[in-house]
Structure 1
């Protein structure tokens, strides 16, 4: 039976906050979510650091002397698969949020998600292409279930959108993400790239197991709303969902059975439809919410304003996520594997961004607060514009080492370190602010689902990258990289130009 938030629950929430202590000035439950997310991100980013390198290992795009035993794909196919995988992780955050809102509640959904993620990494640890793609699917499903709901639980810890600690809480939570992301390539990347790909994947499963244990032991510190199913499915709705799901499953199985039996199946028969779906669904979801007649006029206005943030974020993530594909392959094949005489595996490049975040996030959080006390903090729209211009600038810089290595030589790793630095500053302008503004602007009816909508911006960006790769566009070419950089800067300027209009649509949210 679904629980509801009664006065008793509200009293328990207040007493729990009073007796549970604090975590860097924030509710004690933030520590539980911080540690859970840290270990989940350790598993996720460890596997992600290995993914493009494993795909090209032994193939034509592999670096000289790199470990064999991978899937021997070219760089374009590896980029497409990597981008689709990332897109699916964030696309599945939408049904993950729906499960939190309508079936299990956020707390139970996160626990189930952790088990699915562990199973996925253990499947990746098995040899064979079939096990590899099955493992990727399980990790994507589990990550989708977890992402929206754990962020929603962070929001539950605070007293509404106007709680002054809220943005700071999401920034602290963001630090947990990046501690796990920093350590993962150093541990999982080293073991996987230098010793055994599959042992590396198994270490990712161990990381998620630690996160699950932390979560189960710390749930007493969470807000009681995290166990609530805000809008439980009725019996008729549940039957309708199961029926529609079964119809789609039968249709897909029948279609691919015909393709396989006819001998026409290639990997693109799977990659292209998924990519198109990843572009169509975000648009469809936004249209559905925007056309919901039950939403009051204030929420309708906020959703119109939110579309600006969504499109801006999609452009940002289209470039940013190439740090794990286009830039990762470049680091493996065209950047030196030594710095100051010390050798390192190319998977370590994936630790640079989280290292910069840990160094800069407290500084920027303090800077926003310092400006806020003086009434000079930039609005959310201006922060988004700054993020877009910076991500564009990072790819303008990336063009330089690409040109320097075009003759066959290898460039200094410091070029990539510098590119990641610019991207990190842009990320800190946009990503934590985007998470926070999503929880502030979300209609009550779409609480967890709106977090899924935010992650759909990543899906749209990554699917664009994948579609370009599948269409034969050389994402490793300087012309395309410069074009992407120009697009991001133009988008940033557009957001800045129309900032007053967007602010008006946001109502009281800032």
Structure 2
């Protein structure tokens, strides 16, 4: 499949084939990520629906939202140790291969027709996704001759298309099979997708950079022994604790969800505080980290609302929406394809718009883009009040209400997500340059963990009062960021 997409290019000497003018290894990573995202977003589209379905686990909407949110927070939380594992133990290439196998095993476990192994499967997918997320992007960077290679930005753009192609196709295929045929068969299709991605990666790995095999800072034998000992000790403590809780008969799902949710809130704060308090950072780096906290908090609020598109909005659609187009009914999971197709349609438009405004000296600053993204995600939940009101009146809300909400959120995402990735690399202290991308992912962890904690506390996130409160929080936060934009710009120094 990859070879059919390659072509000769004069930009690289000799007869070596390229992938749209880029190194051949980009085809391998493009296809691997596309299939991995296919498996991930397919399972994610099914997850909350399966949790509440009578033919699934038949849980309450609040419990399903809590599980979904904790799962998402774990995926992004584990990206940080995933990067560390590649840097210290296996190197990016071997880590991604292991990650693919773990993800596939997780999906296969979810495909088993028994509820007893469900959370084990979910945990395996989270661990594998954490191992893969940061490292496959690192390998894309390895294909180019440093940050000044003129093809580098284009390569990441092509790679991003692969992400959204997989995310777009997954709900249409896996969602349809899971909802209409059999839930576990849907999860099995997710395993097949990851299997195809892993096979593609192993077969095409010869085209990857040799740098992807290198372990940048390998652990000494003593460090390995010490780390293994500490890991086994904590594992034993957890096993003994949950064994006692289980045998005492007081165990409920909250004994698992609450600690994971708290970790999702505490660890991001601890990581940011540790970097901020590092006395080896110079005055400029300290100032930039102070500014970065504004972006981090703003992003956490944004993702808290945005990621409910797969839980709160999806469960509302399942219960209270008229999921039809011109009289034709479609599966609820198909809503999850709206965002990626809009991303592919509008991302080039936004890229062109920023360049056009920049040439005129009118491009909004990073902080203004962030403030606008927060206001938009808040506006999407104000828009959500309309279908909620329709449903409370005893009627089914039209599908276009939900499409409109996803559209507004997508525009907000384009103002926050790519901008946040860029500003993270620009503002990272030299000492933490390789870790800051993991820190950015922790903003997603904090946002989703907040949603999980609210759900565990029994808050009904699909009630008009709560939705209006979340919408107001985002809009007020966006206005606050905009009002303090000059102060934040000063703290950012030479970064724009």
TM-score by length of 1: 0.90
114-123 or 23-32: which moved more? 23-32
Matched, 1:302 2:285: no
In structure 2, the partner of 1:474 is 460
In structure 1, the partner of 2:131 is 145
271-280 or 101-110: which moved more? 101-110
Deviation string, structure 1 residues 388-413 (Cα, Å, up to 9, x no partner) = 11111111101111111112210110
**1:501 maps to which of 473, 487, 493:** 487
**Contact (CA 8 Å) 1:170, 1:436: kept in 2 or not?**
no
238-247 or 269-278: which moved more? 238-247
In structure 2, distance between residues paired with 1:444 and 1:222: 27
In structure 2, the partner of 1:93 is 79
In structure 1, the partner of 2:45 is 49
In structure 1, distance between residues paired with 2:227 and 2:248: 32
Change (3 A) 1:364 1:16: closer
Matched, 1:81 2:67: yes
**2:110 maps to which of 104, 108, 124:** 124
In structure 1, the partner of 2:351 is 365
Matched, 1:108 2:94: yes
In structure 2, the partner of 1:205 is 191
In structure 2, the partner of 1:7 is none
Residue correspondence of structure 1 range 215-230 to structure 2 within 5 A? 215-230=201-216
Residue correspondence of structure 1 range 373-452 to structure 2 within 5 A? 373-452=359-438
Change (3 A) 1:277 1:301: same
**Contact (CA 8 Å) 1:114, 1:208: kept in 2 or not?**
yes
Change (3 A) 1:206 1:446: farther
TM-score by length of 2: 0.92
Q: Secondary structure at the match of 1:405?
A: helix
Change (3 A) 1:504 1:99: farther
In structure 2, distance between residues paired with 1:297 and 1:163: 31
**Contact (CA 8 Å) 1:117, 1:143: kept in 2 or not?**
yes
Change (3 A) 1:157 1:311: farther
Please state how far the C-alpha of 1:238 moved relative to its aligned partner.
2.1
In structure 1, distance between residues paired with 2:430 and 2:166: 31
In structure 2, distance between residues paired with 1:234 and 1:375: 52
Please state how far the C-alpha of 1:373 moved relative to its aligned partner.
3.1
Q: Secondary structure at the match of 2:396?
A: coil
In structure 1, distance between residues paired with 2:149 and 2:287: 22
In structure 2, distance between residues paired with 1:157 and 1:495: 37
133-142 or 160-169: which moved more? 160-169
**1:35 maps to which of 24, 31, 35:** 31
In structure 2, distance between residues paired with 1:298 and 1:237: 33
Residue correspondence of structure 1 range 160-171 to structure 2 within 5 A? 169-171=155-157
Instruction: Point out where structure 2 has 5 or more consecutive residues left out of the alignment.
Output: 1-9
Please state how far the C-alpha of 1:385 moved relative to its aligned partner.
1.5
**1:332 maps to which of 318, 337, 343:** 318
In structure 2, the partner of 1:214 is 200
**Contact (CA 8 Å) 1:306, 1:441: kept in 2 or not?**
yes
Q: CA RMSD in A?
A: 2.2
In structure 2, the partner of 1:12 is none
Deviation string, structure 1 residues 14-64 (Cα, Å, up to 9, x no partner) = x99656565556555443332221111100000001100100011xxxxxx
In structure 2, distance between residues paired with 1:292 and 1:237: 23
Please state how far the C-alpha of 1:274 moved relative to its aligned partner.
0.9
**1:244 maps to which of 217, 222, 230:** 230
Deviation string, structure 1 residues 191-241 (Cα, Å, up to 9, x no partner) = 011001111101101111121222233334444433332222233322222
Give the number of equivalent residue pairs. 486
Q: Secondary structure at the match of 1:453?
A: helix
Following TM superposition, where does structure 1 have runs of at least 4 consecutive aligned residues deviating by more than 6 angstroms? none
Q: Secondary structure at the match of 2:342?
A: helix
In structure 1, distance between residues paired with 2:365 and 2:319: 41
In structure 2, distance between residues paired with 1:445 and 1:231: 14
Please state how far the C-alpha of 1:296 moved relative to its aligned partner.
4.5
105-114 or 440-449: which moved more? 440-449
**Contact (CA 8 Å) 1:105, 1:227: kept in 2 or not?**
yes
**1:356 maps to which of 342, 347, 354:** 342
Deviation string, structure 1 residues 437-490 (Cα, Å, up to 9, x no partner) = 323333454444322211111110011001001111110101111111111112
Deviation string, structure 1 residues 55-103 (Cα, Å, up to 9, x no partner) = 0011xxxxxxxxx2x0010101000011011111111111111112222
Matched, 1:290 2:276: yes
In structure 2, distance between residues paired with 1:322 and 1:165: 36
In structure 2, distance between residues paired with 1:235 and 1:112: 22
Q: Secondary structure at the match of 1:103?
A: helix
**Contact (CA 8 Å) 2:11, 2:21: kept in 1 or not?**
no
Deviation string, structure 1 residues 135-170 (Cα, Å, up to 9, x no partner) = 100000000001111223334445555667655544
Change (3 A) 1:371 1:320: same
Change (3 A) 1:105 1:123: same
**Contact (CA 8 Å) 1:49, 1:189: kept in 2 or not?**
yes
In structure 2, the partner of 1:65 is none
